[in-house]
Amino acid sequence: MKSFERSFYSKTSMYAFLVTLILFFTMWIGTKQFKHIDMALLGYMISSFIFAIGITVRLCAWLVRPATRQMIARSIQNLKTSDRAGRNFRSIAKTAFDNIILQKFIFKRGIYRGVQHFLIAWGCIGSLAITFGLTFGWMHFDLVDPLTYQIMVMGIPTIKMAANGLFAELVYNGLNITAIMVMIGVIMALVRRIKDQDVKVTQRAEFDLFPLYLLLAVTLTGLVLTVSYKFLDGWMHHYLTLIHQITVIVFLVYFPFGKLFHLPIRPLAAAVPMNYQEVVKVDTRACKKCGTNYSNDDQITDVKEILAAQSFDLKMSDGTSLADYCQPCRRRIRVMKQMNLEAPQGNPYSPIRTMNDIHISGFGKKRADEFYDLPDKKDKKVSGE
């Protein structure tokens, strides 16, 4: 394996080559040695390969991050722990069902945002699945007789359906259905970003709005294409096909490098609650200062290792780490540190010099007169003042 790896410029380039090779091989199987390639989909096919290479490059860049590496190492370790096998499976299944299928983590932020995100997410997943299935030849339709089609998956005959039946209509219009879902979700997102003043303050046009415009262009051109051949006798069908193909190509090439990249990596977060016992709600680590259980040993250990890998030194003077304290205690420690109040030197009732050169009085007792640099009261009486 090492000699094979040395044949490439980097591991990332090796993985990109392997992904491309696997796609070609599955395409070769699905199309029966390239016999069922649809040349009308050539543009989509090329952009899909670029999409796959881009996703591979971005995933490799994401996986080398210290936090990601630590999470994967912790996940593998926990999956190998036999006495946690049942809990691990339940945790992954529950997290995947709640956060991926039902999108509950978004619905917690509001019904409107939940519906909008659900429509966009599942509309995109469905559209990409159908697009890649047809583009790479993993799926095509064979005519059994004048009234019956059969769905071929990887060259294997599967479901037969009546050419004019309801199920066939749903299959034929799969992309239209997912496009409508995405279009409704995108319009809801744009309305929210236009009307919500809090969102307008933090959003960026190139990062937050451009993906929405791109999704809207893909869905609208696809739906207009359907309207053209169903209701307008193919009016401008050739030009509309080219316009739609261009929007899809731009979308696929952009996808790995923009905001939409969170879609393929979101399922990998399903292991986080398993690692840190969020499902069973078990806290095993007590705060060093107040003794309150605030987290678990695995999470605190991972935090320390991730910070150390990034050269963040959060050790305290007593040898403990800031991660060994609960959040309220951390806030107190940071405030005291910033104000240089950890161990005031000299008279505790005299002014205390802080890190920001602002002088504040001592605490707890009445200030002494000499604090104000005023003459003593006895001196005042002698001078007759």
8 Å CB contact between 134 and 43: no
Structural tokens at position 183 = 């279009």
DSSP assignment of 260-320:
GGHHHHGGGGGGHHHHHTTTTT---EE-TTT--EEE-HHHHHHHHHHHHHTT---B-TTS-
Q: Which residue has the higher pLDDT, 338 or 305?
A: 305
Mean pLDDT (the chain) is 83
Q: In 10 A of CB 245, how many CB atoms?
A: 19
Q: What share of the chain is helix, strand, coil (3-state, %, to 5)?
A: 65, 10, 25
pLDDT at 308 over 70: yes
pLDDT at 365 over 50: no
Q: How many domains does the chain have?
A: 1
- The pLDDT tens digits of the residues spanning 196-237 come to 888 888 888 888 899 999 999 999 999 999 999 888 888 888
Distance CA 246, CA 195 (A): 31
Q: Please report whether residue 209 resides in a domain.
A: yes
In order of 101, 206, 286, the CA distances from 198 in angstroms are 28, 18, 37
Q: Please report whether residue 141 resides in a domain.
A: yes
Distance CA 334, CA 323 (A): 12
Give residue 164's pLDDT band: very low, low, confident or very high (50, 70, 90): confident
User: What is the model's pLDDT at position 363?
Assistant: 47
Q: Which residue has the higher pLDDT, 321 or 338?
A: 321
25 contact partners, CB below 8 Å, separation of at least 6: none
Q: Please report whether residue 374 resides in a domain.
A: no
Distance CA 376, CA 186 (A): 75
Strand runs labelled E in 136-292? 139-145, 148-153, 156-162, 285-286
Instruction: List the domain range (segments joined by +) for residue 163.
Output: 2-273
Q: What is the mean pLDDT of residues 332-351?
A: 65
In order of 366, 371, 384, the CA distances from 377 in angstroms are 16, 14, 11
Q: Which three-class secondary structure state does DSSP give residue 343?
A: coil
DSSP assignment of 349-364:
TS-EE-TTS-EE--SS
- The pLDDT tens digits of the residues spanning 87-114 come to 888 888 888 898 889 988 899 889 999 9
Q: Please report whether residue 87 resides in a domain.
A: yes
| Burial track 126-151 (b if 16+ CB lie within 10 A, e otherwise) | bbbebbbbbbbbbbbbeeeeeeebeb
Structural tokens at position 186 = 């995108």
| pTM of the complete model | 0.77
8 Å CB contact between 378 and 369: no
Give residue 290's pLDDT band: very low, low, confident or very high (50, 70, 90): confident
Task: Count how many residues are written for the chain.
Answer: 385
Q: Categorise residue 340: left if φ over 0, alpha if ψ from -120 to 50, beta otherwise.
A: left
Distance CA 189, CA 83 (A): 45
Structural tokens at position 335 = 């405030």
Distance CA 8, CA 234 (A): 48
Cα 150 off chain centre by: 38
Q: Please report whether residue 353 resides in a domain.
A: no
Question: 108: burial class by Cβ within 10 Å (0-12, 13-18, 19+)?
Answer: exposed
User: What is the model's pLDDT at position 200?
Assistant: 84
Distance CA 216, CA 183 (A): 6
User: What is the model's pLDDT at position 121?
Assistant: 93
Q: Please report whether residue 336 resides in a domain.
A: no
| Burial track 374-385 (b if 16+ CB lie within 10 A, e otherwise) | eeeeeeeeeeee
- The pLDDT tens digits of the residues spanning 253-281 come to 999 998 999 888 888 777 777 777 655 56
The partner residues of 141 in beta bridges, in order of sequence, read: 151
Give residue 25's pLDDT band: very low, low, confident or very high (50, 70, 90): very high
Question: 359: burial class by Cβ within 10 Å (0-12, 13-18, 19+)?
Answer: exposed
Q: Please report whether residue 338 resides in a domain.
A: no
Q: Please report whether residue 66 resides in a domain.
A: yes
Give residue 355's pLDDT band: very low, low, confident or very high (50, 70, 90): low
User: What is the model's pLDDT at position 364?
Assistant: 45
What is the 8-class DSSP label of residue 255?
G
